[in-house]
Structures are given as C-alpha cells and as structure tokens.
Amino acid sequence: MKPKVAFFDFSGCEGCQLDALNLDAGDVVDLLNAVDIVNFREVMTERADDYDIAFIEGSVTRESEIARLQKIRSQAKVLVALGACASIGGVNCLKNHLPMEEALRIVYGDKAGYYDTIPARPANAVVAVDYYVRGCPPVTGELVKVVKALLLGKKPEIPNFPVCVECKMAGNICVFERGKTCLGPVIRAGCSAICVTSGRHCWGCRGLVDEPNVDSEKDILQKYGLTVAQVVEKFKIYNTYGDVAK
Ligand code: SF4
Ligand code: SF4
Ligand code: SF4
C-alpha cells in the first residue's frame, strides 16, 4: 500500500502548491510511483478524508481555519508545513502589526464587515508540525527531498546554517559591500542564496537558523555603518510572528 498524501491550502497565495506542480517530470513520476495523492485542489477534483501525510500551505488567519487544521492533524500521521506562510507565518503576519479593524478597513474599505479575520499565525501555533518545507515559495525539489526521506523513515536533512554559506559558495559579492542590508547571516540556507545571486538580497523567507548569531549580525551592521532598525524592517516581511501580539 502506498502512503496517501494530501495537500491543503489555508491563507496564502497558493504559490507553494504551484511550485510543487513545477517539479521535473522525472520527480513527478517518482513521486506518483511512491505515493497516492488523494487531495490536491489545484490539480484534481477528487477528495478523500483518509490520508497519511498532510502538507499544509498558508497560514491560519480565520477562526474557522483553527478547527479545520486541528481536524487535519487528527487524521494525518505526519503533518508537514509547506512554505513560509505555514512554517513561520510569513507575509500574512504583516497585518498583525495593526489593529485587526484597521487592517480590514485598509484592505476591504467599507466592505470590511463581510470578512472575518484573526491575527495570522503559522501552523505550529495551532497544532504540532512534524516537518517543514521552507521558503516563499520553497525551492523546487525540496518537497521531493522531504517526501523521499519520510518514505525511507528518515528525518529530512534541511540545512541549519546561514544563507551566507551558500552565497559565498555561489561567488556573490556581499550586498553589504554595496551599502545594502541582508538577512543572510541569520537565515536558514537551502535556497542556494538565489535572491542574492539574482541581484537582490535575502529577505529571510526560510526563517531563522536554530541558533542565529545575532552578535555577528550586529558586528556586520556596525562595520558597514548600518543600524539594527534597518534590518528589523526587512525582518518584518516574513519573520515577525513571534514579535507581535497574537
Ligand atoms: S509561502 Fe509564499 S508562495 Fe507559499 S503561499 Fe505563502 S506567500 Fe504564497
Ligand atoms: S549578500 Fe547576504 S547572504 Fe550573501 S554573504 Fe552578504 S550577507 Fe550573506
Ligand atoms: S535568499 Fe533569503 S529570501 Fe531569498 S530564497 Fe533564500 S532565504 Fe528566501
């Protein structure tokens, strides 16, 4: 019997699911040979309530999503957070910096009364999460890597060192040398520093490494005449769930 896999979308842009559909043809065939996909709204109409592995995309931003996620957790043997919104709260948590009434008014204007919303939160603020596929969206292939590890009964090996390591390996010139800021020193690698390689900087979509070297980040800022406040602004985009009122 092949394990049954289900994908569920909560509040997000669905880019993580789209990215899953972007896998190499070979990986898709391998995946379909190894598991039965029983729920995946973006690609199939069938639905099943019987599944072993649940992938959760998106953060929880409505009261009704709490019970929905708890029900999925009670069914799934393994629950995986897919993407930044589910793993760390992600961009949805930007609204947590405002009173909810104000956030609703800004987005929906005089129609705000039609919408219910609560402060955004990652999946692990509601239920236990077993594994994470990080990023916004995750890098292509990390999902397959995680599924393969689960099928082998192993813990997926996701890097727990900073983006700077992969950035240096890619031969990039550090953006600090150009007077800009970057979260690479404290953010978890695994993306090959794609944003820096593409001419930008790291916004932190893969979340913090387990033991971020905050002192080192401060030393770098001091060296380049930058302030902590300048970095905190960037940090807000993906990583402020734990820092604002829930
Ligand atoms: S993590 Fe990024 S790509 Fe995935 S649902 Fe959230 S905003 Fe979209
Ligand atoms: S550009 Fe960012 S990720 Fe690359 S070395 Fe500099 S701080 Fe690290
Ligand atoms: S460089 Fe930073 S923002 Fe870009 S994908 Fe990697 S972790 Fe995410």
Query: Could you report the per-residue pLDDT of 46-99, keeping only the tens digit for each?
Result: 999 999 999 999 999 999 999 999 999 999 999 999 999 999 999 999 999 899
CA gap 12, 109 in Å, rounded? 21
113 DSSP 8-state letter: G
* Encoded tokens for 201: 């900087």
Q: Where in the chain are the domains?
A: 4-151, 163-243
Atom number in ligand 3 closest to CA 238: 3
Q: How far is the CA of 201 from the centre of ligand 3 (A)?
A: 8
Helix axes 25-34, 142-151, angle to 10 degrees: 30
Q: Are 162 and 187 in contact (CB under 8 A)?
A: yes
Q: What is the pLDDT of residues 118-165, one digit of tens each?
A: 999 999 999 999 999 999 999 978 988 999 999 998 988 889 999 999
Q: For ligand 1, atom 5, name the residue with the nearest CA.
A: 12
Write out the CATH class of domain 4-151.
Answer: alpha beta
